[in-house]
């Protein structure tokens, strides 16, 4: 058997520290941390420079505290690095042991494989629960029943393994999602393995019905463009006469939008682009929604059924983008978390794709798509649209969904774009000034914990 090295013995003293930092490793290998280096901002726009100087210190303090709380909330989702030692005599579950909070369960798979000895002794310890052995037999010795540290010993390896097969863990801290780490040791050998504590979630299912009208809702946001909106509606009704259309409208002076199966929601004037998206999405009761701008136009090549076909065959997909005219816009996002004090760096890279979607020629996994896409209602609701973004915002939704949404861009899914006609009143609101641009960049500093950004 292999004894731990000197460095491993020194690292044993770091156990409590590793739990506090949520960084774990088998002690015969070492400790690792993936969040300790600053990212480079060369060629990027600094988010902090757009914060007024008299507000910087207080904003930095508030951001630090909010980020600390954010890290606490998502600890259960953070996967610790656990490395298995070579030639270990310890057998244990490395993945898949899950139980509900405040519940008790036998830890599966515990065993010791060792050469003959006069006596065998193993120890187990946890932080957020207690350990016990059920039905302790004669000739075995168990210390720490119902406590966080448990020692089991026996002169018989067979009896010891029988006891290990009945070791239970009881969760004692209520959280909806959490983790505990079990330290399992024998002589100079130690293994660490996770226990996932999770309250089961109730499924949220949408009845897809029997046709496209019960599967998909078309959503849009409008502002001072009723002529274009009516052209869009007429084109939709030509190909999909019964499909529901939801319109969020924050125009200064509103007009009626007639037609069957149209839900027209009037907002306070000028509430903005993403607030309107949230409103429209909140009223969708179908499995999917198709997002369109109010100046698009459906044609013979606009086939909503193709979107549904892809998403039904690839259930992991959350968003599928098409093309507006000949513009199949998509992009990738390069994100470096940086360190806790400065924040991260993010960059949008045009025409970057990850790999092909299996079974669909011309479909690629990406990080963001054109403003014409179909999405799973329940998945996008979890991310939402930031109402701070009133006039310009598109990439920001995909930044918020990074790591949460699986996105693809596919050829052959197109919609037309109406010819642009200048409207002086609309344009005054459509294009942001320099102050709004600076405020938007500063918003990324706090909200996304970013040091710098590049679009």
298-338: per-residue pLDDT in tens? Answer: 999 999 999 999 999 999 999 999 999 999 999 999 999 99
Which residues lie closer than 8 Å to 406 by C-beta, 6 or more apart? 316, 317, 318, 319, 365
Q: Long-range contacts made by residues 355-363, C-beta under 8 angstroms, separation at least 24? A: 357/310, 357/314, 357/317, 357/408, 357/410, 358/314, 359/313, 359/314, 360/310, 360/313, 360/314, 360/410, 361/411, 362/410, 362/411, 362/412, 363/310, 363/320, 363/408, 363/409, 363/410, 363/411
**b/e 326-337 (16+ beta carbons within 10 angstroms → b):** eebbbbbbebbb
Task: Identify the domain containing residue 403 by its residue range.
Answer: 212-454
Q: Residue range 196-222: average pLDDT? A: 94
Q: In angstroms, how far is the first alpha carbon of the chain from the final one? A: 55
Give the end of a domain, one of 136, 163, 198: 198
pLDDT of amino acid 411: 95
Model pLDDT, residue 139: 64
User: What tens digit of pLDDT does each residue of 285-296 get?
Assistant: 999 999 999 999
**Domain final residue pick, 170, 198, 226:** 198
User: pLDDT, tens digit, for every residue of 35-55?
Assistant: 568 998 888 888 888 888 888
Tokens of 65: 């505290």
Higher pLDDT, 278 or 224: 278
CA distance linking residue 247 with residue 264, whole number of Å:
5
By mean pLDDT, which of 69-78, 101-110, 271-280, 442-451 is the weakest? 69-78
The answer to whether 349 touches 332, Cβ cutoff 8 Å, is: yes
Q: What percent of the chain has pLDDT over 70?
A: 88
How many domains in the chain?
2
User: Quick check: is 106 in a domain?
Assistant: yes
Q: Which helix (H) or strand (E) holds 17?
A: helix 15-21
Predicted confidence band of residue 12 (pLDDT cuts 50, 70, 90): very low
Residues 190 and 245 in one domain: no
**DSSP 8-state secondary structure symbol assigned to residue 75:** G
User: What whole-number distance in Å separates Cα of residue 316 and Cα of residue 310?
Assistant: 10
The CA distance from 162 to 350, in Å, is: 59
Hey, CA dihedral for 377, 378, 383, 386, is it positive or negative?
A: positive
156-200 pLDDT, tens digit each: 999 999 999 999 999 999 999 999 999 999 999 999 999 999 999
- On the question of pLDDT at 24 being above 70, the answer is no
Whether residues 161 and 223 share a domain: the answer is no
Place of tokens 């990850």: 354
Question: Do both 104 and 164 map to the same domain?
Answer: yes
Q: Element (H or E) spanning 19, and its range?
A: helix 15-21
Total count of residues recorded for the chain: 455
Task: Return the pLDDT at 441.
Answer: 86
Of 50, 49, 58, residue with least CA distance to 436? 50
Same-domain check for residues 279 and 385: yes
Same domain flag for 248 and 326: yes
Question: How far is CA 33 from each of CA 9, 15, 334, rounded to the nearest angstrom?
Answer: 19, 14, 20
For 179-195, the DSSP string reads EEEEEEEETTEEEEEEE
The mean per-residue pLDDT over the stretch 86-106 comes to 93
The enclosing domain of 244 has a CATH number of 3.90.550.10
How far is the C-alpha of 432 from the C-alpha of 25, rounded, in Å?
50
- 141: domain CATH number is 2.60.40.10
Alpha-carbon 282 to chain mean position: 20
Nearest to 59 by CA among 74, 69, 49: 49
Query: Kind and range of the H or E element at 55?
Result: helix 53-73
pTM of the full structure: 0.85
Residue 301 located in a structural domain: yes
Q: Do 264 and 126 share a domain, yes or no?
A: no
Q: What percent of the chain has pLDDT over 90?
A: 72
Q: Examine the domain organization and report whether 303 and 364 are in the same domain.
A: yes
Which residue, chain included where needed, has tokens 């909106």? 229
**pLDDT category, 243, cuts 50, 70, 90?**
very high
Residue 64 lies in a domain: no
378 lies in the same domain as 349: yes
Q: How do beta strands 111-112 and 177-186 pair?
A: unpaired
Q: Answer whether residue 247 shows pLDDT above 70.
A: yes
Is residue 255 located within the same domain as residue 387?
yes
């Amino acid at each position: 058997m292999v004894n731990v090295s000197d460095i491993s013995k020194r690292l044993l003293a770091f156990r409590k520290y590793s739990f506090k930092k949520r960084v774990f490793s088998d002690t015969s290998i070492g400790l690792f941390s993936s969040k300790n280096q600053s990212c480079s901002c060369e060629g990027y726009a600094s988010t902090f420079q757009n914060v007024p100087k008299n507000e910087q210190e207080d904003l930095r303090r508030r951001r630090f505290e909010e980020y600390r709380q954010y890290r606490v909330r998502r600890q259960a989702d953070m996967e610790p690095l656990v490395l298995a030692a070579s030639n270990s005599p310890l057998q244990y579950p490395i993945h898949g042991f899950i139980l509900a909070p405040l519940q008790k369960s036998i830890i599966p798979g515990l065993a010791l494989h060792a050469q003959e000895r006069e006596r065998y002794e193993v120890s187990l310890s946890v932080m957020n629960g207690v350990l016990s052995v059920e039905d302790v037999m004669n000739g075995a010795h168990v210390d720490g029943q119902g406590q966080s540290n448990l020692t089991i010993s026996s002169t018989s390896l067979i009896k010891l393994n029988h006891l290990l097969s009945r070791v239970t863990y009881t969760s004692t801290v209520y959280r909806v999602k959490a983790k505990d780490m079990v330290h399992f040791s024998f002589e100079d050998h130690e293994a660490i393995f996770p226990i996932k504590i999770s309250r089961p979630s109730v499924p949220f299912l949408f009845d897809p019905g029997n046709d496209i009208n019960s599967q998909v809702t078309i959503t849009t946001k409008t502002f001072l463009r009723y002529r274009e909106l009516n052209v869009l509606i007429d084109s939709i009704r030509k190909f999909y006469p019964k499909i529901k259309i939801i319109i969020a409208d924050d125009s200064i002076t509103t007009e009626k939008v007639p037609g069957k199966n149209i839900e027209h929601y009037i907002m306070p004037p000028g509430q903005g682009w993403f607030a309107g998206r949230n409103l429209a999405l909140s009223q969708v009761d179908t499995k999917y929604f198709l997002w369109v701008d109010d100046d698009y136009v459906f044609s013979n090549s606009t086939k909503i059924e193709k979107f549904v076909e892809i998403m039904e065959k690839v259930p992991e997909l959350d968003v599928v983008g098409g093309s507006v005219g000949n513009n199949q816009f998509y992009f990738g996002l390069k994100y470096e978390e940086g360190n806790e004090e400065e924040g991260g760096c993010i960059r949008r890279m045009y025409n970057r794709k990850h790999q092909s979607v299996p079974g669909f020629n011309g479909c690629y996994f990406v990080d963001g798509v054109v403003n014409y896409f179909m999405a799973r209602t329940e998945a996008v609701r979890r991310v939402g649209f930031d109402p701070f973004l009133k006039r310009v915002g598109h990439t920001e939704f995909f930044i918020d969904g990074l790591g949460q949404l699986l996105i693809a861009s596919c050829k052959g899914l197109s919609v037309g774009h109406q010819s642009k006609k200048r409207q002086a009143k609309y344009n005054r609101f459509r294009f942001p000034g320099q102050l709004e641009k600076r405020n938007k960049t500063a918003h990324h500093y706090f909200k996304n914990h970013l040091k710098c950004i590049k679009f």
